[in-house]
């Protein structure tokens, strides 16, 4: 896609319309300008992230290796739930646009109605009775630390955030399409704060001044909500994602009913899908009225539980274990696997941090290997803040777990969520295969020039310490060099430094008076033959005076 920069705004892409295989998606520029519908294999290839790793890095000095351990936090291993999430978002965006085709009269009418309502200040949340929505939002509720935010960010990255339309099928069509917008709930939990965040984000992306016009002054929350609704229409907002929904506070928002009614309105009246993300603490916010209003969406809601010790856990830990910077490479044993699960309780964030901290402890202590006892000790020393929560999970005691709302297990029957479909077992095998292929493709990593140059020297079988020292010396003299230039200069420096040592070694041998080469060389200086010089030193004897002397 051709990229452009919106004046005072963000990067955008020029619309490129694609032929649609699904009939209902054809003839709608908002849908035709989106990326193609990806297969599961394509999703894995595009979303999985495996940082660069070279086993030779384990020979570098400790202060470099503890920095390399941080690459573990860049790793993104796809699991079955991530594939489900990508599929849902792909569907809700397209379904939301079905009833908002800009070339249908109803779309223009809705824009005019929204504008008139704002001007007359008589607009109500449920005023658009003629509009029939095709949008279908959903909610993601899960344990804190399971990577919900990371996953949603990765999936949204598959879609350009802003698409610029200028002409569609030889018809002038000038419009900015805001495919997705992600907001974080303000910590004060107010709906007004959320509205202001909306204005700020849109202004940053599109170069507008909505906050100046609508976010300050004496405008009420109702006024702001009506303006937001019109902005959503004007920008063809594809999906609104609201993260950390547990921060919303009913009292500060003017009541749960108003807050939840607004979300419902975006879906039902305007046709913008809304995805709400939060921990299990958010269940107190999502009251039954809101669930009932959205139950007919057909998408169902996602329960993001802790990982069970099953194939998903095995897939994650095997991916992480490939990144090991201790000098002693330790294979993943069932005992190590068990202790990682026991100490993290299947919470991905804790598992990754525990593995990283264990490596750092092993490197700095000089023991250079990962053991069961080491992981237990690191967990005891470094996970003190979350220790009570983890102990509650280990105990399985419902009363103890209920004390911590962010980790409390969701009661699926009570909520009436749609049952999750399990990925087939053979998909796990395909995922592993795609994982290996993706690692091979990840040639580039977010490394400094220094690290890249050292790795290239290691590939040339140059000693790690020599490579590190040479690169540092090259960069000390000139920092603006490209990686290839650094490598060339470092190789030249290493070669030059090695030659004097060879000459000194050679000279040392020549100074040895018993060395035959030294004796012959000295004899030549005295105009003696090699035979005479060696004979004088007693290295040559007459045969008759040696072997036959006793006969």
pLDDT (tens digit per residue) in 261-278: 777 766 766 678 888 888
The answer to whether residue 379 scores a pLDDT higher than 80 is: yes
Record the tokens describing residue 243, joined without a space. Answer: 């993260």
360 pLDDT exceeds 70? yes
200: pLDDT strictly greater than 70: yes
| Complete DSSP assignment for 306-357 | PPPTTHHHHHHHHHHHT---SSS-----HHHHHHHHHHHTT-HHHHHHHHHH
Q: Hunting for tokens 């030294």 — which residue is that? A: 518
Could you tell me if 236 and 40 are in contact, meaning their C-beta atoms sit under 8 angstroms apart? Answer: no
Measured distance CA(521)–CA(527) in Å, rounded: 10
Nearest to 277, CA basis, from 190, 377, 148, 402? 148
CATH number of 79-160+179-304: 3.40.50.300
pLDDT over 90 for what percent of the chain?
29
- Mean pLDDT, range 295-303, rounded to an integer: 58
pLDDT at residue 446 is higher than 50: no
pLDDT at 301: 72
Quickly tell me which residue has 């807050």 as its tokens: 259
Model confidence band, residue 250 (pLDDT cutoffs 50, 70, 90)? low
Does the structure show a pLDDT above 60 at 131? no
**pLDDT tens-digit map of 34-52:** 999 999 889 988 998 888 8
Is residue 23 very low, low, confident or very high in pLDDT (cuts 50, 70, 90)? very high
Asked whether the predicted pLDDT for residue 547 surpasses 60, the reply is no
Beta bridge partners of 303: 141
What burial class does residue 468 get, using C-beta atoms within 10 Å of its C-beta: 0-12 exposed, 13-18 middle, 19+ buried? buried
What's the mean pLDDT in 332-354? 92
C-alpha 402/C-alpha 392 separation (Å) is 9
Which residues lie closer than 8 Å to 358 by C-beta, 6 or more apart? 370, 374, 375, 378
Strand arrangement of the beta sheet that strand 11-14 belongs to: 3-5, 11-14, 162-168, 171-178
Mean pLDDT value across the chain: 77
- Going by pLDDT thresholds of 50, 70 and 90, the confidence category of residue 186 is confident
SS3 511: coil
- The residues near 334 (Cβ < 8 Å, ≥ 6 apart) are none
Model confidence at 16, pLDDT cuts 50, 70, 90, reads: very high
- Determine the pLDDT at residue 409: 46
Q: How confident is the model at residue 280 (pLDDT cuts 50, 70, 90)?
A: confident
Residue 410 φ/ψ, nearest 5 degrees: -80, 135
Assign 432 a pLDDT band (cuts: 50, 70, 90): low
> Distance between CA atoms of 21 and 37, rounded to whole angstroms?
10
Class of domain 449-497: mainly alpha
Q: What are the tens digits of pLDDT across the range 211-244? A: 888 877 777 777 887 888 889 888 999 999 998 8
Range of weakest confidence among 101-105, 153-157, 166-170:
101-105
Asked if the model's pLDDT at residue 112 lies above 60, the reply is yes
Instruction: Give, in order, the Cα–Cα distances in Å from 351 to each of 71, 340, 358.
Output: 14, 6, 11
pLDDT of residue 324: 93
Residue 144 has pLDDT above 50, yes or no: yes
């Amino acid at each position: 896609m051709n990229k452009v920069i919106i004046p005072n705004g963000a990067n955008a892409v020029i619309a490129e319309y694609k032929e649609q295989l699904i009939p209902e998606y054809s003839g709608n520029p908002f849908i035709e300008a989106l990326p193609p519908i990806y297969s599961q294999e394509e999703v894995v290839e595009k979303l999985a992230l495996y940082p660069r790793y070279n086993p030779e890095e384990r020979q570098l000095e400790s202060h470099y290796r503890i920095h390399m351990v941080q690459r573990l936090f860049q790793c993104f291993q796809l699991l079955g739930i991530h594939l489900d999430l990508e599929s849902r978002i792909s569907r809700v965006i397209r379904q939301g646009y079905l009833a908002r085709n800009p070339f249908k009269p109803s779309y223009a009418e809705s824009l005019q109605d929204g504008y008139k309502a704002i001007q007359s200040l008589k607009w109500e949340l449920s005023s658009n009775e003629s509009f029939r929505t095709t949008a279908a939002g959903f909610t993601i509720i899960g344990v804190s630390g399971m990577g919900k935010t990371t996953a949603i960010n990765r999936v949204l990255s598959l879609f350009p955030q802003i698409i610029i339309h200028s002409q569609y099928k030889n018809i002038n069509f000038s419009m900015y399409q805001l495919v997705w917008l992600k907001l974080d709930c303000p910590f004060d939990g107010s709906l007004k704060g959320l509205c202001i965040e909306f204005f700020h984000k849109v202004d940053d992306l599109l170069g507008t001044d909505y906050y100046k016009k609508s976010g300050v002054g004496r405008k009420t929350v109702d006024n702001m909500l009506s303006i937001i609704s019109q902005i959503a229409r004007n920008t063809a907002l594809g999906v609104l994602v609201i993260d950390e929904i547990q921060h919303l506070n009913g009292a500060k928002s003017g009541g749960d009913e108003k807050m939840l009614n607004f979300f419902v309105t975006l879906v039902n009246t305007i046709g913008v899908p809304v995805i709400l993300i939060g921990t299990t603490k958010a269940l107190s916010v999502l009251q039954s009225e809101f669930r009932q209003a959205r139950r007919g969406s057909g998408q169902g809601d996602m329960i993001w539980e802790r990982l069970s010790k099953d194939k998903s856990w095995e897939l994650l830990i095997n991916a992480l274990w490939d990144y090991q910077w201790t000098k002693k490479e330790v294979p993943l044993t069932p005992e190590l696997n068990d202790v990682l699960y026991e100490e993290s309780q299947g919470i991905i964030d804790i598992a990754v941090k525990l593995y990283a901290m264990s490596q750092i402890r092993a490197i700095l202590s000089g023991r250079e290997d990962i053991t069961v006892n080491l992981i237990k000790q690191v967990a005891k020393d470094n996970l003190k803040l979350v220790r009570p929560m983890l102990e509650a999970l280990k105990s399985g005691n419902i009363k103890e777990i209920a004390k911590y709302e962010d980790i409390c297990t969701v009661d699926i029957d009570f909520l009436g969520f749609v049952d999750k479909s399990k990925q087939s077992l053979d998909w796990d095998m395909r995922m592993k295969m795609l994982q290996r292929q993706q690692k091979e493709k990840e040639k580039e990593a977010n490394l400094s020039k220094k690290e890249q140059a050292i790795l290239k020297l290691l590939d040339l079988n140059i000693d790690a310490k020599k490579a590190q020292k040479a690169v540092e010396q090259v960069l000390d003299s000139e920092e603006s060099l490209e990686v290839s230039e650094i490598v060339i200069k470092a190789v030249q420096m290493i070669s030059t430094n090695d030659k004097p040592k060879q000459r000194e070694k050679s000279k040392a041998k020549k100074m040895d008076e018993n060395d035959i080469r030294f004796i012959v060389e000295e004899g030549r200086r005295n105009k003696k033959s090699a035979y005479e010089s060696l004979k004088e030193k007693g290295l040559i004897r007459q045969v008759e005076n040696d072997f036959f002397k006793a006969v």
